[in-house]
Chain A
Amino acid sequence: MSDTDLIAATAAGTAALIRDRQVSPEECLEAWLERTAADDLNGYLWRADGESATNGVDGKADSPVAGVPVAIKDIFCTAGVPTTAASKILEGYRPPYSATAVRKLADAGMPMLGKTNMDEFAMGSSNENSAYGPALNPWDRSRVPGGSSGGSAAVVAGGLAPWALGTDTGGSIRQPAALCGIVGLKPTYGSISRYGMIAFASSLDQCGPLTQDVTDAALLLSQLQGRDEMDSTSTGIEGGVALPSAEDLTGMRFGIPSDLIGEGVDPGVKAVFDRTVARIEELGGTVSEIVLPHAGHGISAYYVLAPAEASTNLSRYDGVRYGIRDSNADLTSMYEVTRGDGFGPEVKRRIMLGTYALSSGYYDAYYGRAQRVRTMIVRDFDAAFVDVDFVITPTSPSVAFGLGEKTTDPLTMYLNDLFTVPMSLAGIPAISIPAGMAAPEGGGSEMPVGFQIAAPAFGEQKLLEASFALEKAINFDPSGGRVR
């Protein structure tokens, strides 16, 4: 079979080709490595060669994904392979161990294509916070791919990987998936082990798939989910995950939180959203209005809680045991200069914010209060899910913006997460599927628009079924993103 056909196949399709012996795992890997070599999106921070791609991978694995290569966000520790979290402070770092998620995929026989670009320590919504240059949106290289899993989204959308691992803390899988016209799933908090996933905000971080379609997302999730003895907050998904097959949305109830979706949404994005809602009704689903009274405060709560947890999670980058050390003058200098040099401006901003929120005298006003608002958001969703099975929103208020367009004011960047943050705070699963195209507000050719569906905790199966049926009806054309 031709390389073009092979590269065009979905991951599930590729797995079938390998299983049916229409292509060997070696041929498959070779074809993909040729593709990664053509990376002009700065999607990869490190690319594997034939040998390193299969290091530690079980070549004899009898799994539904055996032989299908995968790209891994550079936030996952990969033993002996450079892992930087796109930060200068981890330049040259090669972990002495691999993340559980990475190990599971290797045990399932999946070669690793490389480590993908991201916002430094997962802090950002555009991949412009990388110490190694931004990743580019394959649909329009003057635009951002979103973040923080920008590299993973770019390589999947650009046809430089069949699928990729990402992480989502406030929208970092869903938003780049939306901006790049692919599928991105943030599963229920605790579904997938966080062991080996460089921590940003421990109570919010979750690993998840970025894929070409919903079936691939289900397939990759089924390989990743599970309780891990190395992560005491992991639960796995009881009953596991099966590939979806729903034909329509009959009997499913969808809720729109109108109080959340206010004027901040670009008209083009709103139009695609409305069209998709109409499609849901055509497929037999019912749509109603719901309220999530406190979700609008999600950004405020998130930008206290996440930086606070991040400020302590990033304290270990101190020049003692790994990473760079930029001063040996005395202990204080070692800490301050290393960290001052090694962290980028967004990371420093969030560490400062977080430290402030936790510092003596401010805990109750900020962290304590934000935790209580979080409780209220959890309750909002609990109440909503009595009346509906799913909550739907646009994934992002805008399509992919231009490089440098939103970097002058951090707050502007933060507001990108308006619709994704509440689900992170509640720990519930949410997916973004490509729903159409829209022209950017400032002009330019049309860019992908994502549609977000959220479900109750551990409702992944139903979520995938609904997404599967809707995706089929939408029939999004991803070819505009493919790198030639």
Chain B
Amino acid sequence: MIEREQVLHVAKLSRLRLDEDEVSRLEGELSSILEHVDRLAEIDIEGVEPTSHVVPLENVLRDDVPRPSLDRDLALSQAPDPHDGAFRVPSPQAEG
């Protein structure tokens, strides 16, 4: 139902590195779940609006009044690689 190529593509979209075992396993598991989920196709949804929110709210807004920001040290305290007051990350892959 879901092919290996699709599994690899979805893993890429999700930024998940999977080993070979995981890929084969997921192929089977996702297929079986999707098969069950495909029962949804049996239902006649003609004219039915989608529900994005069960809450009947609208216009919940915040006044444009400043709130205290985090102390920078606290903001960086959980960073894996803080550097010079910023969050350091590796650069995108070099062109290959």
Contact = CB atoms under 8 A, between A and B. Distances in A.
| Genuine A/B complex | yes
Interface of A: 93-96, 189-190, 203, 229, 232-233, 235, 294, 297, 299-301, 303-304, 311, 315, 318-325, 328-337, 339-340, 343, 345, 348-349, 351-353, 355-356, 359, 365-366, 368-376, 378, 409-411, 414, 426-427, 457
Contacts of B77: 94, 96
A330 B43 contact: no
Contact of A352 (B10, B39, B81): B10
A447 to B, nearest CB: 27
A348 B16 contact: yes
B94 to A, nearest CB: 7
B90 A353 contact: no
A189 B17 contact: no
B30 A93 contact: no
Given A332-B92, A359-B10, A373-B43, A96 B70 contact: yes
Given A303-B37, A369-B40, A369-B41, A331 B89 contact: yes
Contacts of B18: 340, 348
B80 interface: yes
Given A303-B37, A330-B94, A373-B40, 13 more contacts: A94-B77, A203-B54, A233-B53, A300-B37, A303-B33, A331-B93, A336-B15, A337-B17, A339-B15, A349-B26, A365-B41, A366-B37, A378-B54
Interface in B70-96: 70, 74-75, 77-81, 87, 89-94
A368 B44 CA distance: 13
Contacts of B60: 232-233
A370 B54 contact: no
B36 A411 contact: yes
Interface of B: 2, 6-7, 10-11, 13-18, 22, 26, 29-30, 32-34, 36-41, 43, 45, 48-55, 57, 60-62, 70, 74-75, 77-81, 87, 89-94
Given A229-B62, A294-B43, A410-B29, A352 B51 contact: no
A336 to B, nearest CB: 4
B51 A371 contact: yes
B38 to A, nearest CB: 8
Nearest to A204: B54
B30 A427 contact: no
Given A336-B15, A375-B51, A300 B90 contact: no
Contacts of A411: 32-33, 36
B49 A427 contact: no
A297 B16 contact: no
A300 B45 contact: no
Contacts, number: 171
B75 A353 contact: no
Contacts of A336: 15-17
Given A233-B57, A311-B14, A373-B43, A331 B80 contact: no
Contacts of B75: 96
Contacts of B79: 320-322
28 contacts: A94-B78, A190-B54, A203-B52, A233-B55, A300-B37, A300-B38, A303-B36, A318-B15, A321-B79, A321-B87, A322-B78, A337-B17, A340-B18, A348-B18, A351-B14, A352-B30, A355-B10, A355-B14, A356-B6, A356-B30, A366-B40, A369-B45, A371-B50, A375-B49, A410-B32, A411-B32, A414-B33, A427-B54
Given A229-B62, A233-B55, A339 B16 contact: yes
Contacts of A356: 2, 6, 10, 30, 34
A144 B39 CA distance: 30
Contact of A340 (B16, B32, B74): B16
Contacts of A96: 70, 74-75, 77-78
A273 B18 CA distance: 44
Nearest to A325: B80
B52 to A, nearest CB: 7
10 nearest CB pairs, A to B: A427-B54, A371-B50, A340-B17, A322-B78, A336-B17, A325-B80, A232-B60, A335-B15, A372-B45, A330-B93
Contact of A368 (B32, B43, B50): B50
Contacts of A321: 78-79, 87
Contacts of B37: 300, 303-304, 366
Contacts of B74: 96
A128 B13 CA distance: 27
Contacts of B87: 320-321
Contact of A331 (B7, B22, B38, B90): B90
A374 B7 CA distance: 27
Contacts of A345: 22
Interface centre among B14, B30, B49 (most CB of A within 10 A): B14
A304 B79 CA distance: 33
Contacts of A414: 33
Contact of B14 (A303, A332, A352, A378): A352
